[in-house]
A and B are shown apart, each in its own frame.
Chain A
Amino acid sequence: MKTHQSNSPITVGLFVTCLADLMRPQVAFAAVSLLEHAQCEVRVPRGQSCCGQPALNSGDRANSIEIAKQVITEFSDVDYVVVPSGSCADTLKNKYPNLFSKDMRWARRAQKFADKTWELTKFLYEKVELKEIDAALDGVYTYHDSCTGLRELSIYEQPRELLKQVKGLRLKELKDSNVCCGFGGLFSLKYSNISTHLVSDKCTEICNSDADMVLGGDLGCLLNIAGRLRRDNKKARVFHIAEVLAGMTDGPAIGDPEESQ
């Protein structure tokens, strides 16, 4: 297990999220690096996969409950659970406790688990007050505020404040940055034409902003946006905020070919 030497390090369990795990491991490596930089002892429990949102948002409570129990158990011995995604963090923090309305013992455990769960940028900015971020990236970025993080966890200024510490980076706000990109998990497949309409609007605004890159805190949205930008041969690069904060932007951006750099 990777550890960080400190007098009394706080232990953080990283909930990787299935999208970072499979699609963009660098996001998780970046999260580990940032947490360690903030003097946390990072643990990555092996018994994790997905937070269960596809089941939860499809109304499948029974399976959601089983998945929630497993996640809660797997992270029982860390001080904090940190998640590099607003929507997955919301599931762990706000949705799990509601699943156990008929089971007091699990309701208590779920609430305890919820209380120690944080979205990554919120944790870095509010909890450990991360300073002296050692990253540089020259260019203009715009930020997409993913809906669940914004509305359920009040994540708005945290990513912008953290990004101020990255040398060379300038913010150009996105018009309608708080409007949904059309991802919505399975929605993007079930109602793909509505989803496409929304992501097209989003990409139009991104192009209108003239920013070199789009950053965000949720891979689902970023994959959707990057997929649409690439299909339209638009040049804005797409990164998860953790990659930028950790200085891991030398490789290809989301949706870019590996050989490009």
Chain B
Amino acid sequence: MSEISSIQRVEFQDRVRTALNDVNLQRAMAKAKSGFVDKRLEAKNALPEFDQIRDAARDIKDHVLSNLDTYLELYEEKVIENGGYVHWARDAEEACSIIAEICKASGARTVTKGKSMVSEEMYLNPALEAVGMEVVETDLGEYIVQLAGEAPSHIIAPAVHKTREQITDLFHEHHSPLGYTDRVTQREALVNEARSVLRERFVSADVGITGANFLVAETGANVIVTNEGNGDLTSSLPKVHIVTAGIEKVIPSLEDLSVLLRVLARSATGQEFSAYTSIYSGPRRPEDGEGPEAYHVVLLDNGRSGMLGSDYQSMLRCIRCGACLNHCPVYGAIGGHAYGWIYPGPMGSVLTPLLNGFDSAVDLPNACTLNGRCKEVCPVRIPLSDLLLKHRTEQHERKLTSATSRWILTAWAWLVRRPRFYQAVMSIPLWIMNRVSRGSGGLRWIPFGRGWTNTRDFPAPSRKSFLRQWYSQEKGHE
């Protein structure tokens, strides 16, 4: 186990180093950083009851998670009543093969996709391409990362790691053969060019795949929230619409939806409401002017049911707003790709080990200063930093941490529990370090502390500890 974790550690540290040295990434992240944070704060301050709505949102999700089977069955019943199909997938592989089968059975060649993190989780695109489908991402950010051959680096802003210059280059490279030979650099022109390229794709697509922000049990509807309207074109133009969602996405009613929508956009982008909030409840009915002929929902478990009733159940409340990423200083420094899987930042560091196995991402829960900002901003009050600490305990108990670090901890704790001996022992290095550094104010190198001293001075310690000074003074008074 410790061998696995040491390999992983090297990989993680390599990704971090690459990220910190990536000039474009650093420029893009610096630009994105304060925007999300300031806008959320503004939106929160404009709604005095925001914190009460967060409590209500948490309670709704908790209620669902305590009665998940009931709501999922009710939801399924309603979807079927509306003329749709519900498919249950135990894991990513099963979900991919269900979706591939639906595509094949409908004779599809081209598939358009709205942004769906759960489809990223199941590696849907390569699975569909393997059975001959052409897959086109239609969310602008997803489209950009698809052109770049990358994974999204943020759960709501997939291309946040890219600078505008990089996007200009990508579009020029990929759109020139389609006749867009001008090199466009302005934001609006880039959006218009992508829109124009994608427009043809929307019309020619055979199957549209979207995610779901919520699944409403009482009506059997799926709800998607976007700012681009691409989700609507993906849902309604092709003759088959497939919705992919994790089983935790179900909520009881439209009433509950209104509560959750009030915290979602504010937490995500600082908007009161997203530009498009669309509710779909099945295939086209005879009286409808448009809509898909067939409507499928693929519900993915992939480890979620295992979290029910566990110490990590609250993680299933997550509504994927991205606020924890936007407020995480570590995410801001290294971006999403360094985390190694599709869910980055605090929510990803909690979720990845739960979905992929505790030994799959040992670094993630540790690469956190426990500053608690994620927990502070979460719209459904997931105690993210507490869950990261919980993961560390789990790792320690499963011996996923290195034997050396456990041994050092034990030796240190042994010493700490013998304060007088501790004070005597510590006086020696203290005296030496003070002798060496008091003239300059700090050490430029300390044993086992290069991580610190490579980039920072280690401030000079005191000549004599407080406790020893205090008690020698006291003796003097006696």
A residues at B contact (CB < 8 Å): 1-2, 16, 20-26, 28-29, 44, 46-50, 52, 54-61, 63, 66-67, 70, 147-148, 151-152, 178-180, 182-184, 187-199, 201, 223-224, 226-228, 230-231, 252, 254-260
Contact = CB atoms under 8 A, between A and B. Distances in A.
A49 B415 CA distance: 9
B413 A60 contact: yes
Contact of A147 (B371, B389, B450): B371
Nearest to B443: A227
Give the interface residue-count category, chain B.
35 or more
A183 B369 contact: yes
Closest 3 CB pairs of A and B: A184-B369, A192-B451, A59-B392
A67 B423 CA distance: 15
Interface string B455-475: 111111110111101110010
Contacts of A54: 409, 412
8 contacts: A22-B426, A28-B470, A57-B392, A59-B394, A67-B416, A227-B452, A254-B459, A255-B441
A25 B466 contact: yes
Interface stretch (B49-57, B147-155, B326-334): B326-334
A29 B466 contact: yes
B259 to A, nearest CB: 25
Contact of A63 (B369, B413, B430): B413
Interface of B: 16-17, 20, 329-330, 333-334, 366-373, 375-376, 389, 391-397, 401, 405-406, 409-410, 412-413, 415-417, 419-420, 422-423, 426, 430, 438-442, 449-452, 454-462, 464-467, 469-471, 474
Given A151-B376, A257-B439, 9 more contacts: A23-B459, A46-B419, A47-B420, A57-B392, A63-B409, A151-B372, A151-B375, A193-B17, A231-B455
Nearest to B444: A231
B457 A255 contact: yes
Given A194-B367, A255-B457, A58 B409 contact: yes
Contacts of B396: 58-61
B422 to A, nearest CB: 5
A31 to B, nearest CB: 10
B371 A180 contact: yes
B456 A231 contact: yes
A226 B459 contact: yes
A190 B367 CA distance: 8
Contacts of A148: 370-372
Contacts of B450: 192
A23 B409 contact: no
A219 B398 CA distance: 33
